[in-house]
Structure 1
């Protein structure tokens, strides 16, 4: 738990420095008891359906970041070039604060930058804090 908290604080300070907006005072943690209980209930449902079985699988470890790595982080084709893109997402329902600032005829969009453009077709929404200014 102490290792996880230290890693979370390190990542959180980097995200804040990068200007990422979030409710930093009310983060959820995977070691929270309520979160763990919900995950166990879902895991049991998967087990009851026969979707969980026991086998061997390695856990890849990063000595530099001292954390486990996702398998996908190791399987990239070294010849692949990942291009970044900017995407404009229209805001369909502005918050009351934002609506009071625009004249109603102006459209508002979010500008999103990503280095994983292949994820764009699956995007369903852009989350934001309506109370932020």
Structure 2
């Protein structure tokens, strides 16, 4: 696959991609398990929109930040979050995060955030 600069000139070639182990600063503090980032949905428990909201919650974002990123109302984000909590039988976001990390859902990247793109310098 060609690698283009901002003027659409080919400046390299990407030949393949290896699985990427995910390590965050949290790993060094709490010794969470490492895992491989994946675009394969780990479960069919949530709708596509709920997975996007769950992904952003797992990144530590507040509801308002999620709404801004997704260009949705706070009410919509709260609706999806309440569905996520109900489906996982969690009462709080913190409880959901612990639930999700135990299942290594933090390594899933939804299609909205994993679309192929060109790197521009």
**TM interval, short-chain normalised:** under 0.3
Q: Which has the higher contact order (CA 8 A, sep 6+)?
A: 2
Which structure has greater strand proportion?
1
Larger of the two Rg values belongs to structure: 1
TM-score between both structures, scaled by the size of structure 1: 0.19
What is the TM-score when the length of structure 2 is the normalising length? 0.20
